[in-house]
Amino acid sequence: MKALMMTQYGDVNTSLAFQTVAKPQISNNQVLIKTHAASINPIDYKVLRGDMKAFSKLTFPAGIGRDVSGVVAEIGSNVKGLAIGDEVFSRVAEPYAGTLAEYAVSDADHIVKKPNNLSHEEAASIPLVGLTAYQALIDIAKLQSGEKVLIHAGSGGLGTVAIQLAKSLGAFVATTTSTANVDLVKRIGADQVIDYKTENYLNEVKDFDVVFDTLGGNYTADAFKVIKMGGRVVSVSGELDGQTTKNLGLSFFIRGLLALKARKVTKAAEQKKALYRFVLMSPNGQQLSALADLYVANTITPVIDSVYKFDNSVEAFNSLVKGRAKGKIVINFVD
């Protein structure tokens, strides 16, 4: 089968190549999916450039991509509730990363049947960002109706889902975005929009219950300036917290180095008696099914920036790296 493969650590243009590889073999608890669409995420190019080497080193060539929507092609002997020909979507587990290929493997319990009101491109845009938002806002932050949440970068792939999910929970949602995207984030439900090109969000929000930090850097530490005492800060780009480093199984030495690196954030959290957690998203079929129900009800609608043909996947990654996508960038394998 044809697959886009990572050939070495490096940038998009020098380290990705199309190759012919063997069609994956599945275990008794897995499903082989004929890919109709896949979406790409910042984690893909971060792995490619070597940002995750401290946690897991790659053996090259290695597959790329974690989101997939397609049709069931083969089923493991232990799998129940799915049949060949079913339309499904999934965020595959890390050992099976490689959805930018004609076939993808997923554990059966990470798979959900595709809602009829969604195209494969729309379904492929959901899993990673949807599960990240769900686990950040519901599992960790435990966002409640009537609470106030600040979501950074509201027009991005993650932000557009997080805004809509937070609104479905009954929260007041503030978000940051550029002038060009103000109308978009208002349209999907943001109650307060801060145009970072003309406004400083630190002057516009205060005493918030939750900050969802999607940017990292100074935004992580500054989040504690806008939450109330006892608030919660959840990040996908900031420093790793102690619980996350334990969950990753890192050595005591590495955990110590990361704790030193996170001192500024840890101190800020202590001063506000606040929760700080880094989101380490895990594939979860039950949560993905709950998200699918929200899409069926049109409580959340997909926001897609652009769709590229499979042969133009490198071009798609170049667009993603620029960081200006409005919603998700999707790869089409069929049309």
Q: What angle do CA 225, 228, 233 make, to 5 degrees?
A: 70
Position 240, amino acid: L
Q: Under a CB-based contact definition with an 8 Å cutoff, are residues 330 and 124 in contact?
A: yes
CATH class for the domain made up of 129-278: alpha beta
Residue 251 is predicted with a pLDDT of: 82
Query: Count of alpha carbons within 13 Å of 238, Cβ hemisphere only?
Result: 28
pLDDT digits (tens, 9 = 90+) for 264-299: 999 999 999 999 999 999 999 999 999 999 999 999
Q: What are the residue ranges spanned by the domains of the chain?
A: 2-126+302-332, 129-278
| DSSP letters spanning 127-189 | HHHHHHHHIIIIIIS---TT-EEEESSTTBHHHHHHHHHHHHTT-EEEEEE-GGGHHHHHHTT
Assigned CATH for 2-126+302-332: 3.90.180.10
Contact by Cβ (8 Å): 288, 112: yes
165 vs 230: CA distance, rounded Å:
23
Residue 325: which residues within 8 A CB-CB, separation 6 or more?
156, 157, 305, 306, 319
* Residues paired with 227 in a beta bridge: 208
- Predicted TM-score (pTM) of the model is 0.96
Tens of pLDDT, residue by residue over 5-55, are 999 999 999 999 999 999 999 999 999 999 999 999 999 999 999 998 877
Pairing of strands 30-40, 192-195: unpaired
Rounded CA gap, 42 and 52, in Å?
Answer: 12
Q: What is the pLDDT of residues 147-181, one digit of tens each?
A: 999 999 999 999 999 999 999 999 999 999 999 99
Residue-wise pLDDT tens digits, 176-233: 999 999 999 999 999 999 999 999 999 999 999 999 999 999 999 999 999 999 999 9
3-state secondary structure of 104: strand
Q: What is the DSSP letter of 257?
A: H
